[in-house]
A and B are shown apart, each in its own frame.
Chain A
């Protein structure tokens, strides 16, 4: 009887998650409208159109059979690595680092696509690996190469934030695939030991960001300015904020990047803790839905891909919010769906589209 009212493909969509994403994106548009001083230009309108297009793309992606994703995982991964090489060789300098490839009609940022790419390829790799070998060396070194290659290329650009996200996404799959726990504990210890060495190899600006993260007040007008002003914006918002269009930090330009990386601070100043909790909860619900898709899937690939993709969304949000609230260095990771900009939105809606495809298959199997 349901079939008679709504066509089957539409009825099969996970409407609750789509509404959640619509709510987050819609709220983002409201914040961008305010960040522009109460105007849909130059940000909210563009962002709204983009949001509509990408969400439509995600819904189309939801109809793609999972088998296609499985087949495409390796070729797509290799293609992205090749593109990363190209960016390294011919890439254009944007914001001081080479990140994107200008194809004329779109600026392609292969490192951005590598975030879901690494998840798919590793899911595919462990899918093919016999369960018996999961504790052996053969389970580890190919994965290390698969993660290390793109991470190193992105690091060369240099883009610490994206490189970290690729590593985080990859390691999450390794963890879920069942690699021995001691590996993770050992790696954590090794990272702690190697941190000073890595610090020495960083670019000057990255090193400054780390130092300023450790004590932002040491340089309140220089590099610590972003974090200081962001904390002022969030802290001054209080419980319910200063009201829509009432933020002074953002409207008087004290908050830098108030429509991109620090959009959360712009939001928090006007909507307060209430708005912040709403965003955190909404994202957690999306992420946990994705995790649940993984848990209810049957195949190894499906399980790993679903949990990995939802983890990618989680890392975006977690890193951005930590950074904005002064809990992490400024690494240039936007808040997806809310920050102005297409790349992160595209990636997250790509993840979401694939999750919906996985969800559709999991429900069909039940």
Chain B
């Protein structure tokens, strides 16, 4: 303000008009220049970058859709399908394209008439699914429902109706633990494999059992379809198609008929049964019941169904044949006898059974309270005398016994295409030192002599034991028909086997403990050994009061019932094991083994027996499972409806 050097320029109308003209020229020039810039920019996009954008437009327009390969069949030893594919109509949700979730779900529920349980499952899957992962809504739809959804697809973005194939297990629950099931690949599967096939709607991977282990041969190679699609995923037209290559058929050693029969014959019991061919080691049946229905698992099961299966004390989700570990109890006695013979014990040496065996200050009891009197080896096996084995096994020591157990397959993990095996324990002095840092005691030996104590085996091992006893060969169990047969000799004196097999025949046919296993097929005798595995410890006090009856004992505490055997007794062809969990002495394993082996010689007779039994159980497996599910749902809804009115005291 101080030194204002010049006066403000005086602007006249003329000067303003001149400024206007000049600036309007500048404005016009700028506008022309900007127009040029826009034209240049457009030229850059459409000429210089034309190739790139053409490709992008093309990849927008053309969608490469994989055609999921048809999964290879799983067939039984005679070629009968145990897992196959059925054409089906399905509806999936693609989370990425799903915008108006609630509206779309409501529309789907209405169109497909889905129960609330199913909707809960879909919602939950949607939350867990990564954006690219299709969530199955419904499968095996009747055509009308599928068509109803297809018709409305343009208004339901994110919904993908499709025609495809679904896995079908004709025998349902009977094969569940053997074949496993299939399902949509999980996010983890996809991250591991990075294969776009995995996120193709309708594509399934094996989730358990053979389906999981044999994923590679069963999968096949996908086909591809190039199609023009809109941004919403609606198909405009197909451009070209390359067909898929279906997966390989896998043939099993299993006999589907026997598998199904044995599963049904298990009845309402919780347990497992395995049948092995004594000539080849072929597994003819491997059953674990109760089981889930692999068909409904493959569709994606509802929350309620899963809850019910998880809550059941019969463990339908567990493959008991391979993952159930049990004290084998008296079923080890023939094997133990073999160990005794191998160690030089004479078969005719007698031991006096008085009903109890003194060790230090305590007593070990025989299962027969009054005692068996004097018994030789065959008698001890037939009567399942505990005292004989206490005495004799104590004489040879645990380490020789353990060696024989291992030779017959206990503690072994077999080379089988299964998801997992728990191989149990064959205890010996070194094992105890390693595991507990303690010395092996005579009491431990006495327990092991009757298959109790530390010893644990899975039912498959017991079946292998029976098959090796029956054949005298170190049979390797086989599940895949194309695998080589391995039957090396066990290197045990055939005389010894003759003694033990005769005694086992006596168990069933000669007044022994397994009379209920006697077969009604003319000319065929069954040989075997019963067993009971104690789950709880019976105290001295309880023994004095009288042991509780099975009906008075809670399920979890009842004894396991076991049976191993083979037939025909004189020239064994088939061996088996049956293990019933917590069945006590109400239902025993022996008749189940008998009927399973009977089926192999005279299927009609076996079916007749079963038909009568099934009537008593309330129908066949699917009928009973349905009834159980209904009862469970009713109980759950009832509990929800009536809150804590009555509290148990």
State the A residues within 8 Å of B (CB).
131-132, 134-136, 172, 175-178, 229, 231-239, 248-249, 252-254, 268-269, 272-273, 276-277, 280-281, 283-284, 287-288, 291, 294-295, 300, 303-304, 307, 311, 314, 318, 321-322, 325, 327
Contact = CB atoms under 8 A, between A and B. Distances in A.
A288 B33 CA distance: 12
A131 B42 contact: no
Nearest to A252: B230
Q: Binding site of B, secondary structure by majority: helix, strand, loop or mixed?
A: helix
A286 to B, nearest CB: 11
Given A175-B27, A178-B11, A235-B53, 14 more contacts: A131-B15, A229-B60, A235-B45, A236-B54, A238-B50, A238-B54, A252-B236, A254-B61, A268-B42, A276-B42, A291-B27, A300-B13, A303-B17, A327-B38
A284 B31 contact: yes
Q: Binding site of A, secondary structure by majority: helix, strand, loop or mixed?
A: helix
A172 to B, nearest CB: 7
- Chain B contact-residue range equals 35 or more
Q: What 4 A-B pairs come out closest when comparing CB atoms?
A: A235-B53, A236-B57, A253-B231, A178-B19
Contacts of B236: 252
A287 B31 contact: yes
Contact of B61 (A248, A281, A288, A314): A248
B363 interface: no
Contacts of B23: 175-176, 178
A181 B12 CA distance: 17
A242 to B, nearest CB: 9
Nearest to B55: A236
Nearest to B228: A252
Contact of B27 (A237, A249, A281, A311): A311
A318 B47 contact: no
A325 B40 CA distance: 11
A275 to B, nearest CB: 10
B435 interface: no
Contacts of A231: 45, 53
Contacts of B232: 253
Contacts of A284: 31-32, 35
B493 to A, nearest CB: 76
14 contacts: A131-B11, A175-B23, A178-B23, A235-B50, A235-B57, A238-B54, A254-B230, A284-B32, A303-B24, A311-B27, A311-B31, A321-B38, A325-B45, A327-B38
A46 B34 CA distance: 32
A253 B230 CA distance: 6
**Residue among B16, B34, B42, B228 facing the most chain A CB atoms (10 A cut-off):** B42
Contacts of B42: 234, 268, 273, 276-277, 280, 321, 325
A235 B54 contact: yes
Contacts of B58: 236
A172 B26 CA distance: 11
Contacts of A252: 60-61, 228-231, 236
Interface of B: 8-13, 15-17, 19-21, 23-24, 27-28, 31-32, 34-35, 38-39, 41-43, 45-47, 49-50, 52-54, 56-58, 60-61, 228-232, 236
A132 B54 contact: no
Nearest to B50: A238
B54 A280 contact: no
B149 to A, nearest CB: 21
A239 B17 CA distance: 44
Contacts of A177: 16, 20
Nearest to B41: A325
A66 to B, nearest CB: 17
B11 A135 contact: yes
Nearest to A272: B46
A342 B181 CA distance: 60
A235 B46 contact: yes
Nearest to A237: B46
Contacts of B229: 252
B28 A268 contact: no
B57 A176 contact: no
A232 B28 contact: no
Nearest to B43: A273
B159 to A, nearest CB: 17
Nearest to A247: B57
Given A235-B53, A236-B50, A288-B31, A135 B8 contact: yes
Given A235-B45, A236-B50, A252-B230, A176 B11 contact: no
A172 B28 CA distance: 12
Nearest to B59: A232
A172 B23 CA distance: 10
Contact of B28 (A135, A288, A322): A288
A134 B27 contact: no
Contact of A314 (B11, B24, B31, B46): B31
Given A254-B231, A284-B35, A132 B41 contact: no
B20 A132 contact: no
A167 B280 CA distance: 92
Given A178-B23, A300-B16, A280 B39 contact: yes
A160 to B, nearest CB: 20
B106 to A, nearest CB: 24
Contacts of A303: 17, 20, 24
B532 to A, nearest CB: 65
A221 to B, nearest CB: 8
A85 B9 CA distance: 40
Given A234-B45, A248-B57, A248-B61, A307 B27 contact: yes
Contacts of A249: 57, 60-61
Contacts of B13: 131, 300
A46 to B, nearest CB: 23
Contacts of A281: 35
B53 A132 contact: no
Contact of B16 (A134, A136, A283, A288): A134
B237 to A, nearest CB: 11
B38 A322 contact: yes
A232 B53 contact: yes
Contacts of B230: 252-254
Contacts of B52: 235
Nearest to B42: A276
A49 to B, nearest CB: 29
Given A236-B50, A236-B57, A172 B27 contact: yes
A248 B31 CA distance: 33
**Residue among A136, A254, A294 facing the most chain B CB atoms (10 A cut-off):** A254
**Residue among B13, B46, B49, B58 facing the most chain A CB atoms (10 A cut-off):** B46
A236 B28 CA distance: 32
Given A235-B54, A252-B236, A273 B24 contact: no
A294 B229 CA distance: 52
Nearest to B12: A131
A238 B27 contact: no
Contacts of A132: 10-12
B34 A294 contact: no
A177 B45 CA distance: 38
A280 B34 CA distance: 10
Contact of A254 (B12, B15, B24, B60): B60
A327 B40 CA distance: 12
**Residue among A136, A268, A291 facing the most chain B CB atoms (10 A cut-off):** A291
B24 A276 contact: no
Contacts of A295: 21, 24
A237 B51 CA distance: 10
Contacts of B46: 234-239, 268, 272-273, 276
Given A135-B8, A253-B230, A178 B20 contact: yes
A231 B228 CA distance: 20
Nearest to A238: B50
B35 to A, nearest CB: 5
B24 A176 contact: yes
A63 B228 CA distance: 54
A239 B45 CA distance: 10
Contacts of B17: 300, 303
B32 A288 contact: yes
